[in-house]
Structure 1
Amino acid sequence: MHTQLTLSQIGSLIEGTCGDPGAILGPHGVDYQGTPAVAVRGFFPDSRAAWVVDDRDGVRRPMQKIHPAGFYEAICPAAFAPEVFRNDALPPTTPDRPGYTLQVAQQSGEIVAMQDPYAVPSILTDFDRYLIGEGKHHELYNRLGAHVRSAGDKTDGSDAGVNFAVWAPNARTVQVVGDFNGWDGRKAVMRVHPYLGIWELFVPGAKAGDRYKYRLQTEHGEWVDKSDPLGFAAELPPLTASIVADLTQHEWNDNQWMQKRAETEVLKQPYNVYEVHLGSWQQGPGRTHGWLDYRDLAHRLVDYCHRMNFTHVELMPVSEHPFTGSWGYQTVGYFAPTSRHGSPEDFMYFVDFMHQNNIGVIIDWVPAHFPKDGHGLYRFDGSPLYEHADPRQGEHPDWGTMIFNYGRNEVRNFLVANALFWLDKYHIDGLRVDAVASMLYLDYSREGGEWIPNQYGGRENLEAIDFIREFNVAVHEKHPGAITVAEESTAWPGVSRPTYDGGLGFTFKWNMGWMNDTLRYMRNEPIHRKYHQDELTFSLIYAFTENFTLPLSHDEVVHGKGSLISQMPGDMWQKFANLRLLYSYMWTHPGKNLLFMGGEIAQWTEWHHDHGPQWELLDFKTHRGVQNLVADLNQLVIENPALHAEDHSGEGFEWVDCMNHEASVLVYLRKAPGAAPMLVCCNFTPVPRDQYRVGVPAGGNYWHEVLNSDAGIYGGSNVGNYPGLHVTGVPHHGRPDSVLVNIPPLGVTIFRLEE
Structure 2
Amino acid sequence: MILTPVELASFIEARNACPHDFLGMRPFKQGRSQGVLVRAFIREAKACEVVDVSKKTAPGVEMELLAPEGLFEVFIPKVKDVFRYQLRATLHSGEIRQFFDPYSFLPTLGEQDLYLFNEGNEHRIYEKLGSHLRVIDGIPGVSFAVWAPSAARVSVVGNFNHWDGRYHPMRPLGGSGVWELFIPGLGEGELYKYELLDQSQNILIKTDPYGAYFEAPPGNASIVYNPRTHAWKDSEWMQKRAADAGRIDRPLSIYEVHLGSWKRKVEDGNRPFSYRELAPMLADYVTEMGFTHIEVMPLAEHPFDGSWGYQVTGFFAPTQRFGTPADFAFFVDHLHQRGIGVILDWVPAHFPRDSFALAEFDGTHLYEHADPRQGAHMDWGTLIFNFGRNEVRCFLIANALAWLDLYHLDGLRVDAVASMLYLDYSRKDGEWIPNKFGGRENLEAIDFLRQTNQLVHSYYPGVLTIAEESTSFSGISRAVEHGGIGFDFKWNMGWMHDTLKYFQKEPIHRKWHHNDLTFGALYQYSENFVTVFSHDEVVHGKGSMLNKMGAWDIAEKAATLRSLYGHMWAWPGKKLLFMGCEFGQSREWAYASSLDWHLLQYKDHEGIRLLVRELNHLYKNEPVLSCNDLDGRGFRWINSHDGGASVVSYLRQDEFQQTFFAVVGHFTPVMRGNFRVGVPRGGWWKEVLNTNSAYYGGTGAGNEGGRLADDIPCNGYPHSLSLTIPPLTTLIFKWSADA
TM range (shorter): over 0.9
Counterpart AA for 1:135: G
Q: Secondary structure at the match of 2:248?
A: helix
Query: Which of 5, 11, 14 in structure 2 is aligned with 1:13?
Result: 11
**Deviation at residue 485 of structure 1 after TM alignment:** 0.9
Query: How many Å separate the matches in 2 of 1:286 and 1:10?
Result: 59
**Deviation at residue 206 of structure 1 after TM alignment:** 1.7
Q: Secondary structure at the match of 1:248?
A: coil
1:80/1:680 CA distance change after superposition, 3 Å: farther
Query: How many Å separate the matches in 1 of 2:704 and 2:275?
Result: 44
Asked whether 1:459 is paired with 2:440, we answer: yes
**Deviation at residue 753 of structure 1 after TM alignment:** 2.4
Counterpart AA for 1:22: H
Q: Match for residue 71 of structure 1?
A: 71
Percentage of identical aligned residues: 50
Asked whether 1:689 is paired with 2:672, we answer: yes
Query: How many Å separate the matches in 1 of 2:97 and 2:247?
Result: 56
**Deviation at residue 35 of structure 1 after TM alignment:** 4.3
Query: How many Å separate the matches in 2 of 1:230 and 1:29?
Result: 36
Query: How many Å separate the matches in 2 of 1:6 and 1:734?
Result: 96
Asked whether 1:195 is paired with 2:175, we answer: yes
Matches within 5 A, 1:659-738: 659-672=641-654, 676-698=659-681, 701-738=683-720
Query: How many Å separate the matches in 1 of 2:322 and 2:210?
Result: 19
CA RMSD in angstroms, aligned pairs only: 1.8
Q: Secondary structure at the match of 1:268?
A: coil
Matches within 5 A, 1:379-398: 379-398=360-379
Counterpart AA for 1:29: P
Asked whether 1:325 is paired with 2:311, we answer: no
CA contact (8 A) 2:25 2:104 kept: yes
CA contact (8 A) 2:157 2:165 kept: yes
Query: How many Å separate the matches in 1 of 2:16 and 2:267?
Result: 48
CA contact (8 A) 2:544 2:585 kept: yes
**Deviation at residue 78 of structure 1 after TM alignment:** 7.8
TM normalised by structure 2 equals: 0.96
Counterpart AA for 2:23: L
Query: How many Å separate the matches in 2 of 1:672 and 1:422?
Result: 37
Structure 2, unpaired ranges of 5+: none
Q: Secondary structure at the match of 1:186?
A: coil
Asked whether 1:135 is paired with 2:128, we answer: no
Counterpart AA for 2:48: A
**Deviation at residue 25 of structure 1 after TM alignment:** 0.9
1:20/1:530 CA distance change after superposition, 3 Å: same
Matches within 5 A, 1:394-405: 394-405=375-386
Query: How many Å separate the matches in 2 of 1:360 and 1:242?
Result: 29
Q: Match for residue 38 of structure 1?
A: 36
The count of corresponding residues between Structure 1 and Structure 2 is: 732
How far does the alpha carbon of each residue in 1:95-114 deviate from its partner, in whole angstroms, 9 at most, with x for none?
A: xxx53333333344444333
How far does the alpha carbon of each residue in 1:269-299 deviate from its partner, in whole angstroms, 9 at most, with x for none?
A: 2111111111111111365762211111112
CA contact (8 A) 2:213 2:325 kept: yes
How far does the alpha carbon of each residue in 1:654-705 deviate from its partner, in whole angstroms, 9 at most, with x for none?
A: 112222222221111112357733221111122223232222233x722222
How far does the alpha carbon of each residue in 1:415-455 deviate from its partner, in whole angstroms, 9 at most, with x for none?
A: 11111111111111111111111111111111111111111
Q: Secondary structure at the match of 1:538?
A: helix
Query: How many Å separate the matches in 2 of 1:105 and 1:176?
Result: 22
Query: How many Å separate the matches in 1 of 2:102 and 2:208?
Result: 20
Q: Match for residue 256 of structure 2?
A: 275
Counterpart AA for 1:550: T
Q: Secondary structure at the match of 1:608?
A: coil
Counterpart AA for 1:145: G
Q: Match for residue 304 of structure 1?
A: 285
CA contact (8 A) 2:467 2:489 kept: yes
Structure 1, unpaired ranges of 5+: 83-97, 154-158
Query: Which of 2, 23, 26 in structure 2 is aligned with 1:25?
Result: 23
Query: How many Å separate the matches in 2 of 1:284 and 1:564?
Result: 25
Counterpart AA for 1:240: N
1:174/1:303 CA distance change after superposition, 3 Å: same
CA contact (8 A) 1:61 1:74 kept: no
Counterpart AA for 1:570: A
How far does the alpha carbon of each residue in 1:381-419 deviate from its partner, in whole angstroms, 9 at most, with x for none?
A: 111111111111111122111111111111111111111
Matches within 5 A, 1:275-674: 275-285=256-266, 287=268, 290-572=271-553, 573-672=555-654
Query: How many Å separate the matches in 2 of 1:751 and 1:552?
Result: 25
Query: How many Å separate the matches in 2 of 1:470 and 1:578?
Result: 43
Query: How many Å separate the matches in 1 of 2:203 and 2:665?
Result: 65
Q: Match for residue 243 of structure 1?
A: 223
Query: Which of 176, 198, 201 in structure 2 is aligned with 1:218?
Result: 198
Asked whether 1:144 is paired with 2:129, we answer: yes
1:652/1:38 CA distance change after superposition, 3 Å: farther
Q: Match for residue 733 of structure 2?
A: 751
Query: How many Å separate the matches in 2 of 1:42 and 1:517?
Result: 69
Q: Secondary structure at the match of 2:255?
A: strand
How far does the alpha carbon of each residue in 1:298-318 deviate from its partner, in whole angstroms, 9 at most, with x for none?
A: 121111101211111111110
Query: How many Å separate the matches in 2 of 1:140 and 1:722?
Result: 63
CA contact (8 A) 2:450 2:480 kept: yes
How far does the alpha carbon of each residue in 1:181-235 deviate from its partner, in whole angstroms, 9 at most, with x for none?
A: 2212222111111211111111122211111111111110010111111111111
Query: How many Å separate the matches in 1 of 2:170 and 2:550?
Result: 64
1:224/1:431 CA distance change after superposition, 3 Å: same
**Deviation at residue 545 of structure 1 after TM alignment:** 0.6
Query: How many Å separate the matches in 2 of 1:690 and 1:125?
Result: 78
